[in-house]
Every structure is written in C-alpha cells, then in structure tokens.
Amino acid sequence: VDLAENSLLNKLIRNSLVESSHHVEVLQRDPSSPLFSVKSFEELHLKNELLQGIYAMGFNRPSKIQETALPMMLADPPQNLIAQSQSGTGKTAAFVLAMLSRVNGAEKSPQCLCLSPTYELALQTGRVVEKMGKLCVNIRVTYAVRGNRIPRGTKIEEQIIIGTPGTVLDWCFKLKLLDAKKISVFVLDEADVMIDTQGFLDQSVRIQRTLSKDCQMLLFSATFEEAVLQFAEQIIPDPNIIKLRREEMTLTNIRQFYFLCEHKADKYRALCNVYGSITVGQAIIFCQTRRNAKWLSLELTRDGHKVSVLSGELTVEQRAAVIQRFRDGKEKVLITTNVCARGIDVKQVTIVVNFNLPTNLLHYLDFETYLHRIGRTGRFGKKGLAFNMVERHNLPLIRSIEEHFKRGLSFLDPDDMDEIEKIDY
Ligand SMILES: Nc1ncnc2c1ncn2[C@@H]1O[C@H](COP(=O)(O)OP(=O)(O)OP(=O)(O)O)[C@@H](O)[C@H]1O
Ligand SMILES: [Mg+2]
C-alpha cells in the first residue's frame, strides 16, 4: 500500500471533519505551566481577516485536536509541538492557521516552511492555505516541488513555502533560494508517510538542522507507531506532545449473515435475492481477485444494476473519481478488491458483501481486514448489514469469525427469499 496515495485519496473523498469520542492526551514540555484549551475561534484573538477566512470555510468551532493544539501553537513565546490524531481530525487546518497567523504580510520573504511527502499532498495543503488566507491579501504561498524550476538567485517573495524534502534541500543549498535561518515556523506534515519514504527522513533532518534556534517546529502524524515518535523526538526539540486516540472499529451495530453456497453462480443468486428482497441503499462488494470483480460487475450490469469497479489498474485520480461518484450516489454498488479499498473510508454504506472472505496466505481468516471492511467506529457509527458468501469447505472460517469477535453469524439459504425478506434494518 502506498501511504501517500492513500492519504491523498482520503482527502479527496472526505467532505467533513472526522469526529472523535476520545479525550486529547497532553504531555507538556513544562508540566507546571497552565494548559489552555479553547472552545471557540474568537478566544484565539486572531487577525480579523483570518477569523473571517475560517468562518468562510464553514468551520464553526475548533475540532477536538484544535482545541488544545491551537493555543499551544499560537502561544508566545512559540512552543514546539508533536501532534498525532487520525486522518481527518483537523491537523492540517490547525497548522495552516498557525502559519497564517504568524506570518508578516508586509515582509516579502519566506517565513514559514512546510514539508509534505509528495507534490500532490503539498498542493492539497497549499489549497487550504489559499482558502483560509483568502482575505489575508498580502500573504502568498509557493511550492518547492520538482517541476517548479526557479533560477538560482531569484528572490522568493512568497511568505509560505510548501515543498517536498528533496526540492526544499535544493532550494536551501544548491540554488540558494531559501534562507532557512529566516524561517520562523517549520512544519513537518504527514510524518508517518514521510518516514516510510526512502531518503525523506535524512533530508528532513538536514533541513531541520539549518533552522534557527527560535524557529517554531511542528510535526503531525495520523498514526503513532514507535518509529514515528522516535523520528519526531529526534527532529523536534523540547516538544509538547498531544495525541488523540483513533476510534476503535466495532461490530456492535452490524448484523452479520452467511450464505452457504456451492459455487460462484450460487453466490451470485444469493446476491440477487438480497437485492430482490430488501431495500438496499448503497453496497460495497469485496472480491478476492480483479478478475472476479470484473466478472461480477458484468453480471450485475447485465441484470440492470448500476455498478462501479474500484481496481488496481486505475490511477489515483481515477480511483478518487470512482469513490466520489459512489459517494454522491451515482452508483449504488461499488465492487472492489481488498488491495484498493484498504485504508479508504467509504463508511456511509449500509450493506457490505464479502463475495470472498478475506484470508491470509495460509488461508486463515484475516480478522483485521474483516473488521475493517464491515466495522464502524463507535459512537458515530451507523447500523449495517454484512453478508458473507461461503463455500461449504470454508465454513470453518465463519466459525473462526464467531469465535474471534464473540458474535454469532446467522445462516441464510441463497434460495430462501422468505427468510431474506424478514431481515429488516
Ligand atoms: N474546526 C473545523 N470545523 C469544521 N471542519 C473542519 C475543522 N477543521 C478541519 N475541518 C475539515 O475537516 C476535514 C479534515 O481536516 P484536515 O485536513 O485538517 O485533517 P487532517 O487531520 O490534517 O487529516 P489528514 O491526516 O488526512 O491530513 C477537512 O475537510 C477540513 O476542511
Ligand atoms: Mg493533514
């Protein structure tokens, strides 16, 4: 799985903040100093044009991570911060706000530097800067990314630079476009993706070393493996650390069924009978292979269903477009293989069908993938139905699901329309 691609896809398909029911955990650099958190943007005493920019984006109040992160980021003297919270909880918006509020628009030279893992992710962040800073007329942003060729010795006038580590290094040392000593806010975004990319770790460290002692340093990650934390602590001196735990997936609201099927045609009939018997909103169907997915989409199309297929040969943009159309309800059925759907959130569906159960190389059930396919996150999760199509020889897989998750799965006969009709949700 390409982490940068996944991160980009999630941003392209997301239309709102991801809520969290957890509390933010805080580890302060100076535990004796009071801890502030804000419930409104007004409390931050921002420049008026910035406050208006935030409201124009439709933000009414700070997200959970922002409540704590923003006062720390905007404090005087500046404090360093390491922040972790899952994708979509408002990290980017938080540091963009910090950059915009610290920048001096009257001074035409780089003051904020943000590192991103890829060109596309850099652009995404830049768009947020442009939107939020729409009314900050003197503040501009530019991109230090491969392809943006700027001659040696050019005077960069934009105050906010967003770039990938390699090109930023070139701008600093080879082309001398950027004086890192003059940077007052340094952001390392998507640290988890960064450390996954060959060379970025060392390059980021080299950039960080050339910054001045009073430069504010901020690091963000959507995950918090030990390696990310180690890297973070290596690159951010004397940090405050804040964490918002990920919402756990649960099967609490999900009713799970299995159809006993002899072969592919049985599975298909079971699927059609589900469609014939209950009102299906939107459904995702998981297949084992791309070939299977293709076959199924042809069958369903022939029977008059509007389906879309998410598969590995599509580019990121094409995949984003498929998911977007599905999310907009243009297609009611999304067929996919596991490879494509991992890590991508399309959780508004009410029905998930495992045309093939997810198994590992040893043909044991892959519980994590199963949970990820059909599970929902606690408090904000909706109800749902999950249908598993299994051959007789795979029945032990069903038993292992029941045992592992301590929940029963109800048996269904592919041909028993009456039973299927009784399912209500
Ligand atoms: N305070 C807020 N109120 C409402 N919406 C918000 C708020 N902050 C951010 N958002 C929106 O929530 C979504 C996610 O925000 P953002 O991109 O900042 O999250 P993130 O934590 O950086 O995610 P990722 O880890 O994927 O980069 C965006 O659509 C953003 O516009
Ligand atoms: Mg982000």
Banded pLDDT at 35 (limits 50, 70, 90)? confident
Ligand 2 is an ion; its neighbours by CB within 5 Å are 91-92
- The ligand that comes nearest to the alpha carbon of residue 91 is 1
Q: What is the pLDDT of residue 316?
A: 82
Most confident of 94-98, 174-178, 292-296, 307-311: 94-98
pLDDT in tens, 59-86: 999 999 999 999 999 999 999 999 999 9
For atom 2 of ligand 1, which residue has the closest CA? 59
Average pLDDT over residues 196-210: 94
User: Domain limits of the chain?
Assistant: 3-244, 254-421
Instruction: Share the mean pLDDT of the chain.
Output: 91
CA 221 – ligand 1 centroid, Å: 13
The CATH code of the domain at 3-244 is 3.40.50.300
Give the binding-site residues of ligand 1, using a 6 Å CB cut-off: 7, 10-11, 14, 16-17, 59, 62-63, 66, 87-93, 222
Strand partners, 128: none
The region of weakest confidence among 212-221, 293-302, 343-352 is 343-352
pTM of model > 0.75: yes
Average pLDDT over residues 126-147: 96
Average pLDDT over residues 1-26: 85
- Per DSSP, the residues of 101-165 read HH--TTS-S--EEEE-SSHHHHHHHHHHHHHHTTT-TT--EEEE-TT----TT-----SEEEE-H
**How far, in whole angstroms, is CA 70 from its chain's centroid?**
21
What homologous superfamily does CATH list for 254-421?
A: P-loop containing nucleotide triphosphate hydrolases (3.40.50.300)
Give yes or no on whether 3-244 and 254-421 have one common fold.
yes
Structure-token pair, residue 279: 């009102």
Structure-token pair, residue 321: 């477009």
- Per DSSP, the residues of 249-309 read EE-TTEEEEEEEESSHHHHHHHHHHHHHHS----EEEEESSHHHHHHHHHHHHHTT--EEE
